Amino acid sequence: MKNLFPFTLALLCLSACSGNKDTDLEDEQATVASETGAPTPLAPDVLYATKPLISSKLYSQPDFQASSLAYFDTAQQINVLDTAHAMFVKARIRQDTTTITGYVPKTILPERKK
């Protein structure tokens, strides 16, 4: 029993210290940006970020008949990852503490100024 205590303690410490490093870095960058007034830096895979014109769904596939992964509203920021599809963009949204990747219709996003 005495021999298990150091092992258990070490295991607990390791599991508490591990985590999602990308999310931690994004949270830290967002905090610094909000404190300084600078725009939040985008992840390397993000083409641009925008807020939708209307509330909608994040779909699992680029199809209106696909299952819905999440609902979002006009206050939520959408990170656009890919615009190659004719009617949908691959996008990532953040809800609570999770990030969800799926597809949103292009028509609900504002036009990008070039």
Tell me which long-range contacts 11-17 makes (C-beta under 8 A, separation of at least 24).
none
Q: Where are the beta strands (DSSP E) in the chain?
A: 48-50, 56-59, 68-72, 78-82, 88-95, 98-105
Structural domains present in the chain: 4-36 (no CATH), 48-108 (2.30.30)
How much is the CA Rg of the chain, to the nearest whole Å? 19
Which neighbouring-strand residues pair with 91?
80, 102
| Residues 25, 86: Cα–Cα separation, whole Å | 33
Q: Give the type of residue at 33.
A: A
pTM above 0.85, yes or no: no
The predicted-structure confidence for 17-68, as pLDDT tens digits, reads as follows 544 445 455 555 555 555 666 667 888 899 999 999 999 999 999 999 999 9
